[in-house]
Amino acid sequence: MTGDVPMAGHSGAGSRPAFWNQLGFGEFPVLLAPLAGVSDHPFRRVCARAGATLTYVEMLSATAIVFRSKRTFEMMRRHETETRLGVQLTGKSAAEVGEAVALIDDQPFDTVDLNMGCPVNKVTRAGCGSAILRDPERVYQTVKAARAATAKPLSAKIRLGWDKGSRNFLETAAAVESGGADFMTVHGRLRSDDYSAPVDLEAIATVCKAVRIPVFANGNIFSLEDGAHVRRVTGCAGIMVSRGALGNPWLFRDLSLGREVPVTLGEWRETVRDHLEWQQDEYGGHGNGAVCMRKHLLWYAKGWPGVKPLREKINTAESMSGMLALIDEFAGSLAALGCVERQSLVSGFAGDSSRFTWDPKYEMDRGLDRGVGDDGLVDLGSSPSAPQTTGFPRPAIPGSDAVSIL
């Protein structure tokens, strides 16, 4: 990546905080954001193999954790192949978040993140996600309570504010730092912004200069060019990739290497086949696991010619084996046409919003208004009738519609 930029508040490797090497961050970390309904083990494994420095389980409800929700604890299961893994949660009060962090502190996670940026209505109406941004004192108390509950590296993810009348990102960032967080991620939009709104990199740069802890930038990172641009403009310590990773785990490789490596047809086919295999190992060959895999295959189809018939077939596929046959058939047809490399995907910072010509996740996010898994979503609004026994059995199938991003 061009344009070497030092970490905000740190003059060199010798001054890096202790947790930096502990989390394997290196010179310029590239993190996979917690993506609700997406960040299960198979997807995390694909991204980690491609070069993601750190991955997270999807955002969880502190309420569900406090009430020992079985489904929520199942969602936290760590696969034996994962070398580093983080957990992200959001809650209705500082006390609840602190209690939840204490309850999961002995679970196999390397770091804890506090979500203060999710814009989904069902989440914010419960006083969670970006609703926390409206009260910087609550931000401070929430981080402080979590800090008291764990010695693990602690971070928070924020937005620039609730709406145009409350762009309080500097006050919020100061509260995160004062509460005891080790680092933070800033998404360069307001809660009221649509995803077509531009990402305010200058605001992120202002945060980087204002605090001493490392700041990660997030928003519209779809290409190597985007990562270099964000780093150059903001001076951030690292970046967090969200939608850009969907169907394109190779983005982590490009960002880590600092150069774009073409995705060959053979590599694409192998990665998709591996994802299918890991999905089947996790959830079985039929049922909700197969339905959930459809969205991934739709995303993987980006960048290849003649994908419309493939998409139509994917939308009705009912088994992993059937999907595998579709991928093999499609790859064979591309090879016969002499198509050996995927087209480069568009930049998130070049051109207007029409460049996102087909984004199934965006469509589902807006249509379903989802921000956490089914169990967590229920628990955000009301307490379960009775606590459930926790444990780590076979993980729950992520709902095919639980796909909102942060």
| Residues with catalytic roles | 118
Residue 90 DSSP class: E
Q: What share of the chain is helix, strand, coil (3-state, %, to 5)?
A: 45, 10, 45
Place of tokens 């060019």: 225
Residues 117, 405: Cα–Cα separation, whole Å:
10
Residues 116, 20: Cα–Cα separation, whole Å:
22
SS3 220: coil
Residues 7, 28: Cα–Cα separation, whole Å:
9
Q: What radius of gyration, in Å, describes the C-alpha atoms of the chain?
A: 20
The first and second tokens of residue 135, run together, are 């009260």
Tell me how crowded residue 305 is: count the other CB atoms within 10 A of its CB.
Answer: 11
The number of residues making up the chain comes to: 406
DSSP H or E run through 67: none
Contacts of 92 (CB under 8 A, 6+ apart): 62, 63, 126, 127, 128, 380
Residues 249, 239: Cα–Cα separation, whole Å:
15
Angle at 303 between CA 300 and CA 307, to 5 degrees: 75
Crossing angle for the helix pair 169-179 and 136-149, to the nearest 10 degrees: 20
Residues 170, 64: Cα–Cα separation, whole Å:
31
Q: What is the DSSP string of 309-351?
A: HHHHHHTT--BHHHHHHHHHHHHHHHHHTT--BPPPPPPTTSS
Residues 152, 132: Cα–Cα separation, whole Å:
22
289 φ, ψ (degrees, to nearest 5): -60, -40
SS3 361: helix
Tell me how crowded residue 13 is: count the other CB atoms within 10 A of its CB.
Answer: 12
